[in-house]
Amino acid sequence: MVINKVAILGVGLIGSSLARALRRRGVCEKISGFGNDENQLEKALTLGVIDKFTLDSAEAVEGADVVVLATPLCAMDSLFSGIKDALKADAVITDVGSSKVSVIRSARHYLSPEQLGNFVPGHPVAGTEKSGVEASFAELFEDHLVILTPLPETQEEAKKCISQIWESVGATVTSMEIQHHDEVLAATSHLPHMLAYALVDCLASMQERDEIFKYAAGGFTDFTRIASSNPQMWNDVCISNRENLSKMLDQFSSRLEEIKSAIGDGDSDALLQIFTRAKSSRDEFTEKRSSSINPGK
């Protein structure tokens, strides 16, 4: 598959990494970039991530065969509104948002029925705690999952095109029902990010903060890595997926309350039960993960 022109709207970590990967694999001829930060776009151009850029989303999608929406979620409304009249009739559109219901709501509001047929909502479950074009790299999606959440009206051809794009950059593609995606990701990704942000902010506000960070062990470094993630992006995820995330926060808090009570009561039976159950789930998860995602390793 060779695509003539791809438009990457948002040259952050995900958009730029996809651009790099597509280029390296020879999947497309030309890549145009759009964003609201001219500095980032200039860097993307200098680094060879994109061939040209514009600050006008409509101009970016002109003549594009594939359009990738890769901005934080709260910009989706203005993106769809900006590009809808400039899209080629058969342009295939996808996005990389971490929650899907809100993106799809925007798409339904702005796109025509024909355009909706060519819209394939997607979510590459990949990233690092870094952001921006300079943190991007072509291998980001290798051995990672990409979840597509097609609409009832999404055409088979469009879905096939987006699947092939992700597979060409080394990802494994799977599909999920829209609302279900947002529930599952609230649990596996959005909740952990909230815990990491809350933990770091909690410790940073303590009197002994310098000492606390000085004595933090390796576990802490791993555990809080995701607290270095892009605040704007995570604000948008929280706002977009607030119902599911609020539910998960409540569930987590009750579980933490149980642990807190057991510690307060010196109840070793309860603590051992919780820790043993968690350890066995986590060990099982790690084992399954290593055998399913990297079947060759």
**Could you say which residues in the range 176-205 bind its own copies, by CB under 8 A?**
176, 183-185, 187-189, 191-205
DSSP 171: P
Alpha-carbon Rg for the chain in angstroms: 21
Task: For the beta carbon of residue 293, count every other beta carbon within 10 angstroms.
Answer: 12
From 29-37, 42-50, 114-122, 259-267, give the range in contact with its own copies by CB under 8 A: 259-267
Tokens of 85: 């009249």
- What is the C-alpha separation between 186 and 73, in angstroms, rounded? 15
User: Should residue 259 be labelled a site residue for its own copies when binding is judged by CB under 8 A?
Assistant: yes
Tell me how far, at minimum, the Cβ of 58 lies from its own copies, in Å. 27
- Between residue 221 and residue 240, which ones bind its own copies under the rule CB under 8 A? 221-232, 234-235, 238-239
Q: Residue 31 to residues 73, 159, 217, 249: CA-CA distances in angstroms?
A: 22, 20, 43, 40
Q: Residue 193 to residues 164, 225, 228: CA-CA distances in angstroms?
A: 30, 9, 10
Q: Which of 215, 295, 296, 297 binds its own copies (CB under 8 A)?
A: 215
Beta bridge partners of 119: 93
Q: Which of 164, 179, 281, 294 binds its own copies (CB under 8 A)?
A: 281
Q: 82, 122, 86, 88: which is closest to 104 by C-alpha? A: 122
Tokens of 282: 């986590």
Q: 254, 246, 233: which is closest to 12 by C-alpha? A: 233
- Whichever of 46 and 251 has its CB closer to its own copies, that residue is 251
Tell me how far, at minimum, the Cβ of 297 lies from its own copies, in Å. 14
Residues binding its own copies: what is the number (CB under 8 A)? 95
User: Should residue 173 be labelled a site residue for its own copies when binding is judged by CB under 8 A?
Assistant: no
Tell me how far, at minimum, the Cβ of 31 lies from its own copies, in Å. 26
- Between residue 108 and residue 137, which ones bind its own copies under the rule CB under 8 A? 125-127, 129
Tell me how far, at minimum, the Cβ of 280 lies from its own copies, in Å. 9
Q: Give the residue ranges of DSSP H helices in the chain.
A: 13-24, 38-46, 57-61, 76-83, 101-110, 113-117, 156-168, 178-185, 191-204, 209-214, 218-224, 231-240, 242-265, 268-293
- Whichever of 40 and 115 has its CB closer to its own copies, that residue is 40
- Whichever of 1 and 239 has its CB closer to its own copies, that residue is 239
From 13-21, 31-39, 159-167, 260-268, give the range in contact with its own copies by CB under 8 A: 260-268
> What character string, x for contact with its own copies (CB under 8 A) and - otherwise, covers 144-163?
xx-x----------------
Tell me how far, at minimum, the Cβ of 32 lies from its own copies, in Å. 29
Tell me how far, at minimum, the Cβ of 291 lies from its own copies, in Å. 12
Tell me how far, at minimum, the Cβ of 189 lies from its own copies, in Å. 6
